[in-house]
Amino acid sequence: MDSCVTAAIAKTDGYTPVFLHINYAQQTESRELVAFNKIANHYQVDQKIVVNISHLADIGVSCLTDKSLEVPNADLESDEIPISYVPFRNANILAAATSWAEVLGAKTIYVGAVEEDSSGYPDCRRSFFDAFEKTIDTGTKPGTQIKIITPLINLSKKEIVKKGIVLNAPLHLTWSCYKNEDVPCGECDSCALRARGFEQAGVQDPILN
């Protein structure tokens, strides 16, 4: 959902987006890929790439990639980083995105990361994206200028839902559940955050219809 609303914002900002999907061997990868392709079709995206960084599953420890670990029920009040955390995942994603951007001559990478109202992952904070931008400046060819835009970083899920509706983002094509690929479990962190966002926005979640 966050990526979808981010794409809607990039379109509104006047960009012609290209789409990057990450396979890090997350349990719901196939379902996320379906959503990715549907949203790409919706926006008539020319160029798509699927990046496989499933070594993150070999490295282990996250319940998102290790099938022996159960995805826990949500605990949105906890201050702890949950077991769904995939170590340094977003740096792996951004490194691939930057390689592609440098080749394409793209100037901007949009990422749907959310710092507020999220699960507290360290690689979802704006300070991380700022540091990564400096890494891009130093590690790419002279003259390369790539900014990382995180339009949702300070939004609540409620605000993300509302923004998606205002921009006509195809929320009905999105997928958030960490656990299931058919019917959302309704119990994991990601389902719980999504449900709370729709509820607070006073809107029915279209994927639950």
Give contact residues for a second copy (rule: CB under 8 A).
Answer: 49-56, 58-61, 81, 85-92, 94-96, 98-100, 102-103, 122-123, 125, 127-128, 130-132, 134-142
> What one-letter code names the amino acid at 63?
C
Q: How far is the CB of 130 from a second copy (least distance, A)?
A: 8
Four-CA torsion 12, 110, 203, 174, nearest 10 degrees: 110
CB 196 within 8 A of CB 157: yes
Q: Which tokens is 89 given?
A: 């995942």
Q: How many CB atoms lie within 10 A of CB 53?
A: 16
Q: How far is the CB of 133 from a second copy (least distance, A)?
A: 9
Which residues on adjacent β-strands are paired with residue 149?
A: 110
Question: Which CB atom, from 87 or from 186, has the smaller least distance to a second copy?
Answer: 87
Question: Which CB atom, from 80 or from 182, has the smaller least distance to a second copy?
Answer: 80
Q: Which tokens is 83 given?
A: 């077991």
Question: Which CB atom, from 88 or from 196, has the smaller least distance to a second copy?
Answer: 88
Q: How far is the CB of 134 from a second copy (least distance, A)?
A: 5
Question: Which CB atom, from 59 or from 165, has the smaller least distance to a second copy?
Answer: 59
Q: How far is the CB of 175 from a second copy (least distance, A)?
A: 22
CB 5 within 8 A of CB 163: yes
